[in-house]
Amino acid sequence: MTHRMQATILTVDDERDVLELIRFHLSKAGYDVIQATSGREALEVIRCRAPDLVLLDLMLPDIDGFGVCEILRRQPATATIPIVIVSAWAAPDSRHLGLELGALDYVTKPFSPKTLVERVQRLLDLRQPNRRRAG
């Protein structure tokens, strides 16, 4: 029996219930999920673990999601990691700035867990076309 290479997803949010909701659904879909609750913690985790994709909240206690995005895009080692912003900020300006800073997608809270998993799968499939989806 062959298993697809398990992708690692970092989810960054200071709300524990959101982290758990995302972890539950992505784990069920076959992903390895790691978590961070602040911008600084996210940058440290990314440096150590190099996730395949980052789900990033904008409102964080120290460095906000825009700052994290900007830092990741400036460093060659992290410049190509796909970032999906997951935020309660629905303003077109927030969405525009997030995408301008290098996020590939923007999901507004509250979100459908099924839709979030589908977007993650689509981005990972685009990034690694040889990878087969589980299920």
Dump pLDDT digits (tens) for 65-81: 999 999 999 999 999 99
Statement: residue 5 has pLDDT above 60: yes
User: How large is the average pLDDT for residues 91-113?
Assistant: 92
3-state secondary structure of 91: coil
Q: What is the pLDDT of residue 129?
A: 56
User: Could you tell me where the DSSP H helices lie in the chain?
Assistant: 16-28, 39-49, 65-74, 92-100, 113-127
Check residue 71 and give its pLDDT. 96
Position of tokens 């190099």?
50
For residue 1, is pLDDT > 50? Answer: no
Cβ(27)–Cβ(5) below 8 Å: no
What pTM value is reported for the model?
A: 0.90
Distance of alpha carbon 123 from alpha carbon 16, whole angstroms: 25
Question: So what's the pLDDT on residue 2?
Answer: 32
pLDDT at residue 38 above 50?
Answer: yes
